[in-house]
């Protein structure tokens, strides 16, 4: 009897092994879908019709349906540190920057990213990125860090000379932008604004009427420029930074992101989900219903009054009515 039981158990084990290792069709796996609720998103940019968002733990997300759904990009050397900003020179070539001087580049509209720089000795972040179709790329950040690439982000070097004024070399540089005509502007803490008229070869500081931190700078289609930052401060210049006028916002919350829509309206986003829109070129702003209860760090236009917002609470989509009302989905 014991022999029969032993034979039966051996047969059962053998049958299980045969079943486990036998070839058989596998069920189809569903496509990976990312639900970015709760993921901190710090930067959003357009790569042609695609949206690319970057944020905490080095996450890079892609959407090909105006933000309705998102999927992860492929990063060749993930570092797990926060990405702070993303920028594209055209529909395919772009860059992302983050903590520890991390710089990534892509040449396939954000689907795949390659590491171009990473600082193993310091966690200091890069905060601003500029990728140009016809010109150098720039990365700027904390304690005056100012880098340039002349080969579409493959290699990076400190900017030659002394772009920052004497005594201000340790100022945090928060944002950099270009108008496509060789004029560049950079904003930082302490009301710092630098401008360049030759594509970034030479820089000069300009005076602003606000001495607090400026977190963003935005070239406008009418030739004007906006700089925005702490406590609802928004400045407009019609002469490329020679003189500035304070805009009326009626808000005391800080602004961290801004965009001009196809219809000309300017929208700023910031602390506590604040959204403010201007219909007169950034001279006056009206508060909109909050797009999110969380702080907003970035926004991108997807056409027809639609905005994709990124911040502490993840990603949200907002549709702006013609009258300025907003409905959030």
The answer to whether 248 and 272 are in contact (CB under 8 A) is no
Asked whether the predicted pLDDT for residue 51 surpasses 90, the reply is yes
Asked whether the predicted pLDDT for residue 72 surpasses 80, the reply is yes
Asked whether the predicted pLDDT for residue 58 surpasses 80, the reply is yes
pLDDT-above-90 percentage for the chain = 72
Q: Supply the pTM of this predicted model.
A: 0.86
Of 184, 197, 266, whose CA–CA distance to 228 is shortest?
Answer: 266
pLDDT mean over 224-252: 96
129 confidence band (pLDDT: 50, 70, 90): very high
Q: What is the DSSP string of 80-113?
A: -PPEEEEEESSSS-EEEEEGGG-EEEESSTTSEE
What pLDDT sits at residue 319?
86
Query: Which tokens hold the place of 161?
Result: 């000379």
The answer to whether 294 and 312 are in contact (CB under 8 A) is yes
* Domains and their CATH numbers in the chain: 33-328 (2.130.10.10)
Summarize pLDDT for 268-298 with one digit per residue, the tens: 999 989 999 999 999 999 998 765 668 899 9
| Interatomic CA distance for residues 179 and 161, integer angstroms | 23
pLDDT mean over 18-39: 43
110 confidence band (pLDDT: 50, 70, 90): very high
279: left (phi over 0), alpha (psi -120 to 50) or beta: alpha
| Interatomic CA distance for residues 276 and 268, integer angstroms | 5
DSSP letter for 24, please. -
What pLDDT sits at residue 7?
38
């Amino acid at each position: 009897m014991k022999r029969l039981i032993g034979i039966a158990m051996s047969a059962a084990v053998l049958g299980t092994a045969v079943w486990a290792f036998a070839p058989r069709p596998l069920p189809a796996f569903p496509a990976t879908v990312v639900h970015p609720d709760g993921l901190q998103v710090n930067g959003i940019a357009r790569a042609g019709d695609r949206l690319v968002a970057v944020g905490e733990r080095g996450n890079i997300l892609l959407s090909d349906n105006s933000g309705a759904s998102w999927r992860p990009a492929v990063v060749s050397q993930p570092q797990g540190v926060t990405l702070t900003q993303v920028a594209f020179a055209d529909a395919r070539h772009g860059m992302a920057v983050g903590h520890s001087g991390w710089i990534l580049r892509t040449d396939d509209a954000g689907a795949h990213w390659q590491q171009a720089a990473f600082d193993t000795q310091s966690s200091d972040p890069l905060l601003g990125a500029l990728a140009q179709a016809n010109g150098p790329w720039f990365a700027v950040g904390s304690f005056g860090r100012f880098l340039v690439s002349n080969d579409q982000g493959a290699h990076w070097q400190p900017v030659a000379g002394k772009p920052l004024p004497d005594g201000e070399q340790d100022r945090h540089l928060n944002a950099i932008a270009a108008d496509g005509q060789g004029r560049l502007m950079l904003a930082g803490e302490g009301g710092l604004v630098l401008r360049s008229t030759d594509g970034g070869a030479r820089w000069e500081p300009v005076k602003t009427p606000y001495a607090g931190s400026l977190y963003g700078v935005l070239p406008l289609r009418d030739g004007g420029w906006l700089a925005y930052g702490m406590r609802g401060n928004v400045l407009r210049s019609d002469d490329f930074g020679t003189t500035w006028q304070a805009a009326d916002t009626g808000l005391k919350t800080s602004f961290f992101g801004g965009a001009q829509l196809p219809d000309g309206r300017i929208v700023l986003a910031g602390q506590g989900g604040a959204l403010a829109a201007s219909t007169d070129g950034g001279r006056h702003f009206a508060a909109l219903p909050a797009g999110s209860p969380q702080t907003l760090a970035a926004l991108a236009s997807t056409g027809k009054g639609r905005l994709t917002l990124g911040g502490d609470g993840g990603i949200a989509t907002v549709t702006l009515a013609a009258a300025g009302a907003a409905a959030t989905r």
